[in-house]
A and B are shown apart, each in its own frame.
Chain A
Amino acid sequence: MSTDGSLIEELKKLEEEALASVEGVRDEAELEEVRIAFLGRREGRISEILRKLGQVPPEERPPLGAEANRVKSRLEEALDERRSSFARERAPDRFREDLTLPGRERWIGGRHPVTRVVDELIAIFRDLGFSLARGPEAETEWYNFEALNTPLDHPAADEQDTLYLKAGHLLRSHTSPVQVRVMESHRPPIRVLAPGMVYRRDSYDATHTPVFAQLEGLAVDEGITFVDLKATLAEFARRYWGPGTRVRFRPSFFPFTEPSAEVDVKRVFRDAEGREQETDWIEIMGAGMVDPAVLEASGLDAERYTGFAFGMGPGRIGMLKYGVPDLRLFYENDVRFLEQFAGP
């Protein structure tokens, strides 16, 4: 073996030694010392060998040169890696902030609480096959009363004290006119929800405003029965208020449904100690089987088709759900109130 062989050996030894030194340093200054010791331009031990390359016979230069370069870059790599690991370790020390200070925020927008409730109700009824319909807020007496089996000279027409525009025209006192409009324009199977604003000549108090949201539901098809009405609304209630919710149907009277019902729910839940608790019965909506007179007025064969309808007040449901004590809060639009319902 000639000098080149020993030089190659020496390189290998140097490599091992250098890598071990890199491994052993404690800080960046020591690392820099190691770099200078091995790769420093003047005194670096590997640089020295590279300088000796000139004295090696030309035919031996290529393998030796290649090996020297390999060792050099191997070492540079190791140095780099070590350097960045020091940098990584050092980073947290350089970051100096009082992290108890507040973060930078953006304004959080939000849907109106009544819209939130309507959205939730719609989501449940969508699963039950319902689509969305709408109708005008200014209506005729025909759609608001007569087509809904409510003769104008019947006291039932008084129960919702109506706001009139001019002879025969009024602001709808309920969303039920949409029932008739949908049945006039579509054939069964019909399953629609009609959310919207309704108007009554009420003065403002904790549970009344002259304008408020209502959500109407209508299902008309062959073979729909009172059992379907109960089942659908009970299913809704259990999805909205939880699976343990109890549902009660009480007879009532609406001119446009027969039989008619008021629907109450009782929430059953576990308190912090795991004991079962229940709320009082809470009235949540009116419902019933669509009166045959309404089907006929809408141009449907009442012997062939049956259906059910229901109506509820999202504002009232929101009061219960969010613990809002006064309906007027929903319409005052104080931003401190609205912000409580902001966010996704």
Chain B
Amino acid sequence: MKVSYQWLKSIGPELEAGIAELSERLAALGFPVEEVATLSEGFEGLVVAEVQGVREHPDADRLRLCDVDGGQGVVQVVCGADNVVEGGWYPFAPVGSTLPGGVTIGKVQLRGQESQGMLCSEKELGLGPDGTGLMVLEGRFSAGQPLASALGLEDLRLDVEVTANRPDLLSHEGIAREVAPGGHTALTLPPIPGEDPAASEALERLERHADPEEVSGDGVTIRIEAPDLCPRYVGLVVRGVRVAPSPHWLQTRLRAVGARPINNVVDATNYVLLELGQPLHAFDLQQVGGRSVVVRRARQGERIRTLDGEDRALNRDMLGICDEDRPMAVAGVIGGEESEVTDETSDVLLECALFTPGPIRSTRKALGLSTEASYRYERGVDPELQLRALRRVARIILATAGGEIRGPILDCRPGDFSRKTVSLRPSRVEALLGIPFDHESIRELLEPLGFSLEPQSPEELRVDVPGFRSYDVTREVDLIEEIARTHGYDHFPDVLGAFRPGAVPDHPLFELEDRVRDELVAWGMLEAQTPAFAPEGEGEVELLNPISSEERFLRGRLLPGLVRRLEYNLARGNRSVRLFEIGTVFALEDPGDLPRERTHLAAILHGDRFPPHWENEARGLDIWDLKGVLGRVADVVVGEGASVGPDAEGDSGSPFDPASRLVVRGVNGEAVGEAGRMPAARMDLPPWAGPVWGFELSLPVEPGPRKEIRYRPLPTHPGVDRDLALLLPEDLPVEELRGYIGREAGKYLRETRVFDVYRGKDLPEGHRSVALRLHFRAPGRTLTDLEVDEAVRRIVDVLREELGVGIRGQQDASGGA
């Protein structure tokens, strides 16, 4: 809400204390001032000038020579605007002054004629969009008067943040009521310059016709056919107005809060909206067909050309303000062009209505159009305000545009306007706020806000809610908030008392995520967080209103996002990229159900295995680094029984090169994740990039309890190692040997470790040498060589007989190769 400090002070004289105190007080009440703008800023040196003479430019058709009095003697100014007239008053930038946009005015020659300064348009002054002609100043001025004072810019504009629950603060009166030390009773509305007291007096005594369905008078009929959408519609006819630019005081007020003056009738309605918070509309009565106003739902497909020049189609959910046959305005949102007040208008029908907030909001959304009126109506306009606002606007129109009001006031009101009462228990106040408040202190806190209190019993107060608070104060708790707010949050203690710890157990996934992070951080990986949006093809859950086409879906997996992060890093020359992410992925469920969500873990690896060191040979990360970290992660994620093995078949959607594809399986053999080398062709990498490794796993929805650690006694006797160098066909996986070895080795084989893999010309074609170290140990005694030799012999035999594996050598491990 934009607030003029001068305007505010004219309503609440107690607010003279100054802007700093006002800002502080607003903030303490919950309405921080986001910005204070000095309106005269940038207008230094600019003045008001009178054009005393206008002559043709001898050498240019479209330029004129003006004799301009800017207070420093008459100077010649060349001007291109059509609307410059002798005797007119205009903003003037003398030589040496600077426009708000930063342009400094110098003495120039225009087509051979000297120009000493510049007469300005609205646009050149940054005051509005109109750059077609000079800005015409209305009122009495003196030549050389500072432009800021002439435009009423010696004011401060406050941008007050008003929360969505407080529509009553969307007006100068509302703000003043909230902050004035004396409360709502201390306010007065400023007098209207040029007002005829007798006319205003007559207005107060004007007859009023009221009816829930239809009222007529002064040749006009108002009928409400949709009482659920319009609880009240008040109309008043003003005849014989003279539509013209508004007087200076009115334009000043509007400009101070950034509104653009249009004409005296429209400006009067806007003024009252900003002053009291009541949206108003003025129709040209000549354009109201049948002199009837029908408040009804629009017909499907009915069209209206609105004031912003748009041709709009309405539907049955929208409320129209119609004449006999067509809509003249979209209720509570915007007026129509045909019934607009123009310079030709002489009779005006004023509308001062109340609309139901919800439908205004949906209409506003459907039309994609938010206006000052819709902003207030969708939040809630004071249901007690209409007559007061109507009289106020009528007085201003009479004072600025003349005319005559015969009456009656046409008050069509199907709604219920009885005041709401809310009961308030001081015991409940204490139960919620933690400190006691008695009747008297509650009264002192609530009454200045406009509430009236009536004790029902020592335990209960009856609180009468004023209309302007009828939207946000409907329950006891709403009053308790008012008590806390006006008492001041700072006045509550903040000493920690006793509390019961919560009885809700931790969701188990947090602990698992924590351990995964520990594991991967220990491997030297950095955690990334990427947005869950994805382009088409990377997810199946689609957004209705995406931010961009690249973010139209929700991701189905994490890796594509990490690939983009890798590309980003490599493009910036970051060679070593080891990123992991724990995040949510989405999949479609049955129609009507929410998407299925799973927490995934993914990683992407590129670059050197170790940080460069002068003594190390640089080596890139490879498949064994990937498989190593994957094994550890599988242990953490799946627990006991996890396996990691090759699976070149895979599903076709796998992002990995099939030959490098590893699959992580759970206890029951189900795939929980996969890993491998990511084909460079599918990524946007610089030419120097090395291989890219990645993995992605699905974390369990409900992780089981963490594996318990049990102590195993340490061996008491030494074991015996034997090395075997086996000649293995390339297509025989080492994994297949393990079963045979395990069966034949007897119960004392503790560990089988691959310690060398060798390929060379000295080996038979299609073979490699794999060296295994077998570790034997018996509990409680030392094994004899004989026992171990026997076991090794059995292993060698079975490998030869069953798999055709030859032996390159066999050694006592201590004996070396």
Interface residues in chain A, defined as those with a beta carbon under 8 Å from any beta carbon in chain B: 101-102, 104-112, 114-115, 128-134, 136-140, 151, 153-156, 158-159, 163-166, 169, 171, 182, 186-192, 197, 199, 201, 203, 209-211, 213, 219, 221, 223-228, 230-232, 234-235, 247-253, 255, 258-261, 289, 291-292, 306, 330-336, 338-339, 342
The answer, yes or no, to whether B807 is at the interface (CB within 8 Å) is no
Cα distance A188–B500 in the bound complex, in angstroms = 10
Q: Which residues of A contact B477 (CB under 8 A)?
A: 258, 291-292
Assess A154 versus B528: contact at CB under 8 Å? Given A101-B614, A221-B499.
no
In the complex, which residue of chain A has the Cβ closest to the Cβ of B580? Answer: A109
Q: Is the CB of A105 within 8 A of B502?
A: no
Q: Is the CB of B502 within 8 A of A211?
A: no
Q: Is the CB of A197 within 8 A of B499?
A: no
The answer, yes or no, to whether B128 is at the interface (CB within 8 Å) is no
In B346-393, the 8 Å CB interface with A consists of 357-359, 361-362, 378-379
| 5 further interface pairs, Cβ-Cβ under 8 Å (given A107-B576, A165-B542, A226-B492) | A138-B586, A140-B594, A153-B359, A331-B530, A332-B565
Separation in Å of the B276 CB from the closest CB of chain A? 20
The answer, yes or no, to whether B532 is at the interface (CB within 8 Å) is yes
Assess A111 versus B500: contact at CB under 8 Å? Given A155-B164, A163-B546, A251-B489.
no
Q: Which 9 A-B pairs have the closest CB atoms?
A: A107-B524, A251-B30, A225-B434, A191-B502, A227-B434, A253-B163, A153-B358, A129-B501, A109-B521
Separation in Å of the B713 CB from the closest CB of chain A? 33
Assess A334 versus B502: contact at CB under 8 Å? Given A169-B594, A211-B531.
no
* Residue in contact with A230 in the complex, picked from B478, B481, B492, B521, CB distance below 8 Å: B492
Q: Which residues of B contact A231 (CB under 8 A)?
A: 493-497
Q: Mark B23-51, 1 if CB is under 8 A from A, else 0.
A: 00001111010000000000000000000
Q: Which residues of B contact A105 (CB under 8 A)?
A: 610-611, 613
Q: Is the CB of B529 within 8 A of A333?
A: yes
Assess A131 versus B531: contact at CB under 8 Å? Given A165-B544, A335-B576.
no
Assess A251 versus B574: contact at CB under 8 Å? Given A258-B481, A335-B526.
no
Cα distance A25–B656 in the bound complex, in angstroms = 72
Cα distance A190–B504 in the bound complex, in angstroms = 6
Q: Which residues of A contact B527 (CB under 8 A)?
A: 109-112, 115, 338
Q: Which residues of B contact A128 (CB under 8 A)?
A: 499
Q: Is the CB of B503 within 8 A of A190?
A: yes
Interface residues on B, range: 35 or more
Cα distance A32–B403 in the bound complex, in angstroms = 132
Cα distance A108–B541 in the bound complex, in angstroms = 36
Q: Is the CB of A292 within 8 A of B475?
A: yes
Separation in Å of the B273 CB from the closest CB of chain A? 17
Q: Is the CB of B597 within 8 A of A164?
A: no
Q: Name which of B95-103, B224-232, B505-513, B763-771 contacts chain A.
A: B505-513
Q: Which residues of A contact B551 (CB under 8 A)?
A: 210
Cα distance A165–B532 in the bound complex, in angstroms = 13
Q: Is the CB of B489 within 8 A of A261?
A: yes
Separation in Å of the A224 CB from the closest CB of chain B? 8
Q: Mark B513-550, 1 if CB is under 8 A from A, else 0.
A: 00001001111111111111100000001111111000
Separation in Å of the A62 CB from the closest CB of chain B? 38
Q: Which residues of A contact B576 (CB under 8 A)?
A: 107, 335
Q: Is the CB of B481 within 8 A of A306?
A: no
Cα distance A339–B485 in the bound complex, in angstroms = 45
Separation in Å of the A147 CB from the closest CB of chain B? 15
Cα distance A267–B51 in the bound complex, in angstroms = 59
Interface residue SS majority, chain A = mixed
Cα distance A331–B509 in the bound complex, in angstroms = 23
Q: Which residues of B contact A292 (CB under 8 A)?
A: 475, 477
Separation in Å of the A264 CB from the closest CB of chain B? 10
Q: Mark B592-626, 1 if CB is under 8 A from A, else 0.
A: 00110100000000000011011110000000000
Q: Is the CB of A130 within 8 A of B526?
A: no
Q: Is the CB of B481 within 8 A of A259?
A: yes
Interchain Cβ contacts under 8 Å between A and B, 9 examples: A104-B616, A165-B544, A211-B532, A231-B496, A251-B485, A259-B481, A334-B572, A336-B574, A338-B528
The answer, yes or no, to whether B299 is at the interface (CB within 8 Å) is no
Q: Is the CB of B490 within 8 A of A134?
A: no
Q: Is the CB of B510 within 8 A of A132?
A: yes
Q: Which residues of B contact A151 (CB under 8 A)?
A: 358
Q: Which residues of A contact B610 (CB under 8 A)?
A: 104-107
The answer, yes or no, to whether B433 is at the interface (CB within 8 Å) is yes
Separation in Å of the B382 CB from the closest CB of chain A? 17
Cα distance A164–B497 in the bound complex, in angstroms = 42
Separation in Å of the A219 CB from the closest CB of chain B? 7
Q: Mark B467-488, 1 if CB is under 8 A from A, else 0.
A: 0000000010110110011000
Separation in Å of the A171 CB from the closest CB of chain B? 8
Assess A253 versus B166: contact at CB under 8 Å? Given A221-B499, A342-B526.
yes
* Residue in contact with B432 in the complex, picked from A189, A226, A339, CB distance below 8 Å: A226
The answer, yes or no, to whether B2 is at the interface (CB within 8 Å) is no
Q: Is the CB of A251 within 8 A of B478?
A: no
* Residue in contact with A250 in the complex, picked from B361, B489, B554, B579, CB distance below 8 Å: B489
In the complex, which residue of chain B has the Cβ closest to the Cβ of A139? Answer: B594
Cα distance A228–B497 in the bound complex, in angstroms = 7
Q: Which residues of B contact A221 (CB under 8 A)?
A: 499-500
Separation in Å of the B32 CB from the closest CB of chain A? 7
Q: Is the CB of B507 within 8 A of A133?
A: yes
Cα distance A169–B590 in the bound complex, in angstroms = 13
Q: Is the CB of A227 within 8 A of B433?
A: yes
Q: Is the CB of B490 within 8 A of A248?
A: yes
In B157-197, the 8 Å CB interface with A consists of 163-166
Q: Which residues of A contact B493 (CB under 8 A)?
A: 227, 230-231
Q: Is the CB of B597 within 8 A of A138?
A: yes
Q: Which residues of A contact B166 (CB under 8 A)?
A: 253
Cα distance A162–B28 in the bound complex, in angstroms = 30
Separation in Å of the A164 CB from the closest CB of chain B? 4
Q: Is the CB of A186 within 8 A of B594?
A: no
In the complex, which residue of chain B has the Cβ closest to the Cβ of A133? Answer: B507
Q: Is the CB of A134 within 8 A of B509?
A: yes
Query: Which one of B163, B358, B504, B523 has the greatest number of beta carbons of chain A within 10 Å?
Result: B504
Q: Is the CB of B500 within 8 A of A226?
A: no
Q: Is the CB of A134 within 8 A of B510?
A: yes
Q: Is the CB of B545 within 8 A of A163?
A: yes
The answer, yes or no, to whether B584 is at the interface (CB within 8 Å) is yes
The answer, yes or no, to whether B714 is at the interface (CB within 8 Å) is no
Q: Is the CB of A306 within 8 A of B432?
A: yes
Cα distance A132–B480 in the bound complex, in angstroms = 31
Q: Which residues of B contact A171 (CB under 8 A)?
A: 543, 554
Cα distance A252–B163 in the bound complex, in angstroms = 7
Q: Is the CB of B574 within 8 A of A334?
A: yes
Separation in Å of the B748 CB from the closest CB of chain A? 37
Q: Is the CB of A197 within 8 A of B532?
A: yes
Separation in Å of the B664 CB from the closest CB of chain A? 20
Q: Is the CB of B595 within 8 A of A306?
A: no
Query: Which one of B361, B489, B532 has the greatest number of beta carbons of chain A within 10 Å?
Result: B489
Q: Which residues of B contact A201 (CB under 8 A)?
A: 545, 547
Q: Is the CB of B481 within 8 A of A131?
A: no
Q: Is the CB of A253 within 8 A of B164?
A: yes
Query: Which one of A101, A105, A230, A292 has the greatest number of beta carbons of chain B within 10 Å?
Result: A230
Q: Is the CB of B432 within 8 A of A252?
A: no
Separation in Å of the A273 CB from the closest CB of chain B? 30
Assess A106 versus B524: contact at CB under 8 Å? Given A114-B529, A228-B497, A228-B499.
yes
Cα distance A68–B636 in the bound complex, in angstroms = 66
In the complex, which residue of chain B has the Cβ closest to the Cβ of A167? Answer: B544
Cα distance A159–B378 in the bound complex, in angstroms = 13
* Residue in contact with B543 in the complex, picked from A107, A163, A336, CB distance below 8 Å: A163
In B704-720, the 8 Å CB interface with A consists of none
Cα distance A201–B361 in the bound complex, in angstroms = 19
Separation in Å of the A59 CB from the closest CB of chain B? 45
Q: Is the CB of A109 within 8 A of B522?
A: yes
The answer, yes or no, to whether B724 is at the interface (CB within 8 Å) is no
* Residue in contact with B533 in the complex, picked from A164, A211, A335, CB distance below 8 Å: A211
Q: Is the CB of A219 within 8 A of B379?
A: no
